[in-house]
Amino acid sequence: MVDLKGQYTKIKDAVDASVLEVLDSTAYINGPKVHEFQKNLENYLGVKHVIPCANGTDALQIAMMGLGLKPGDEVITADFTFAATVEVIALLQLTPVLVDVDPVTFNIDIDAIKKAITPKTKAIVPVHLFGMCANMEAIMEIAEAHNLFVIEDNAQGIGADYTYSDGRKAKSGTIGHVASTSFFPSKNLGCYGDGGAIFTNDDDLAHTIRGIVNHGMYIRYHHDVVGVNSRLDSVQAAILDIKLKNLDDYNKARQAAARKYSEAFKDEDNIVTPSGKEQCDGICDSCDCHVFHQYTLRVLNTDRDALVKHLNDNGIPCGVYYPIPLHRQKAYLDPRYNEADFKVTNQLVKEVISLPMHTELDDEQIAFITATVINFVNS
Ligand SMILES: *Cc1c(COP(=O)(O)O)cnc(C)c1O
């Protein structure tokens, strides 16, 4: 599914030198590399504050802690996402309210958000699933009208642009009140271990969060709030700082691969290729609205699980993200949920399949993968 070795080989000299520099400096925790990477990522994103932390799940949790959400507060998020999103909501004893997604973008459905709002609702967590921004303009409008916080789960979307209806652009993760991301190795900006970060333009919130990641300390050994220990280590920061310089190229390589996949599938009635914002497939040469963390098809009139097996039998890795909607996971069952409200996720879990997607895919691989998929769906 990913080719981390091929990517590493191309930047090996720079990465190795930078890692050795950290080892030699012995500044393993909170060293200068962490600060450098933080500043460079702030500049790249055009956001005032990046607060590095240990992983993307922590980043989400810390963002919610920073906003002062309290047990019982309702947090609306997408039913079709990785479990981390809902896990931290539940862990903080907030009440997750899962809602359906849009069948074209796979992102949280705007009308479903509106329907789910109650007097207890305090926040919305849009997930920029598979690398494309949720409809942030509509979400911010709803949030403003109802006085809600918006926490962007940007673990899959780093580097993507969101384009407003007036043509303005902003990087994903810089639009809501706060955002989280993950530097897990296979993410679009991945380190060689675990890592994550929180973004915000709010100075006060950034200050609060900087204390929370460090045991609730604002002055050494004065613990004003309950915090956690969540740090990005200097070795990972050194690696990320090099990879950040390549992030736009990496995302372009993903888009180029996506374009080739979609071109090969364009006449297939049983294959729905991923598409971006309305009027835009996200894979034109001039825009970055989709950064293809995953390239995910919907297959119609096809036994999806048999297709998975067929691809695997032919030596092609593939993934099903995600096979079970969160509202049907044992840990997150809620008697208030009604199956009729989850028509889209219930359908998607049966139809989706994600093909290999990374920065090193070549034409021969893409041709083999697409031919194998097309043969199966037409057989
Ligand atoms: C990967 C991911 C996370 C969690 O990130 P970790 O660094 O693995 O903790 C959270 N949300 C989404 C949508 C993800 O894809």
Closest listed residue to residue 114, CA positions, set 134, 129, 94, 99: 99
Name the average pLDDT for the chain. 95
Which residue puts its alpha carbon closest to atom 3 of ligand 1?
56
Distance between CA 178 and CA 151 in Å, rounded?
Answer: 5
| pLDDT (tens digit per residue) in 326-361 | 999 999 999 999 999 999 999 999 999 999 999 999
| pLDDT (tens digit per residue) in 143-167 | 999 999 999 999 999 999 998 988 8
Atom of ligand 1 nearest to the CA of 57: 9
Atom of ligand 1 nearest to the CA of 128: 13
In order of their start, the domains of the chain are: 4-244 (3.40.640.10), 247-377 (3.90.1150.10)
| pLDDT (tens digit per residue) in 101-130 | 999 999 999 999 999 999 999 999 999 999
Q: How far is the CA of 311 from the centre of ligand 1 (A)?
A: 26
Distance between CA 260 and CA 363 in Å, rounded?
Answer: 8
Mean pLDDT of 96-101: 98
Q: In what order do the strands lie in the sheet with 49-53?
A: 49-53, 196-200, 178-182, 149-153, 121-125, 74-78, 95-99
Q: How far is the CA of 166 from the centre of ligand 1 (A)?
A: 31
Residue 174 pLDDT > 80: yes
Closest listed residue to residue 76, CA positions, set 31, 110, 34, 38: 110
Q: How far is the CA of 84 from the centre of ligand 1 (A)?
A: 6
Q: How far is the CA of 53 from the centre of ligand 1 (A)?
A: 13
Residue 284 pLDDT > 90: no
Atom of ligand 1 nearest to the CA of 55: 7
When mean pLDDT is compared across 63-77, 82-96, 274-288, 326-340, the lowest value belongs to 274-288
Atom of ligand 1 nearest to the CA of 187: 1
HEC secondary structure over the chain:
CCCHHHHHHHHHHHHHHHHHHHHHHCCCECCHHHHHHHHHHHHHHCCCEEEEECCHHHHHHHHHHHCCCCCCCEEEEECCCCCHHHHHHHHCCCEEEEECECCCCCCECHHHHHHHCCCCEEEEECECHHHECCCHHHHHHHHHHHCCEEEEECCCCCCCEEECCCCCEEECCCCCCEEEEECCCCCCCCCCCCCEEEEECCHHHHHHHHHHCECCEEECCEECCCCCECCCEHHHHHHHHHHHHHHHHHHHHHHHHHHHHHHHHCCCCCEECCCCCCCCCCCCCCCCCECCCCEEEEECCCCHHHHHHHHHHCCCCCECCCCCCHHHCHHHCCCCCCHHHHHHHHHHHHHEEEECCCCCCCHHHHHHHHHHHHHHHCC
Pocket of ligand 1 (CB under 6 A): 55-57, 81-82, 84-85, 127, 153, 155-156, 182, 184, 194, 196
Which residue puts its alpha carbon closest to atom 2 of ligand 1?
155
| pLDDT (tens digit per residue) in 259-280 | 999 999 999 999 999 975 554 6
Distance between CA 111 and CA 99 in Å, rounded?
Answer: 10
Q: How far is the CA of 56 from the centre of ligand 1 (A)?
A: 5
Residue 67 pLDDT > 80: yes
Select from 182, 240, 292 the residue to mutate for testing ligand 1; criterion: most ligand atoms less than 8 Å from CB.
182
Atom of ligand 1 nearest to the CA of 129: 13
Backbone angles phi, psi at 293, to 5 degrees: -60, -40
Mean pLDDT of 192-210: 98
Atom of ligand 1 nearest to the CA of 58: 9
pLDDT-based confidence at residue 288 (cuts at 50, 70, 90)? confident
Backbone angles phi, psi at 242, to 5 degrees: -75, -45
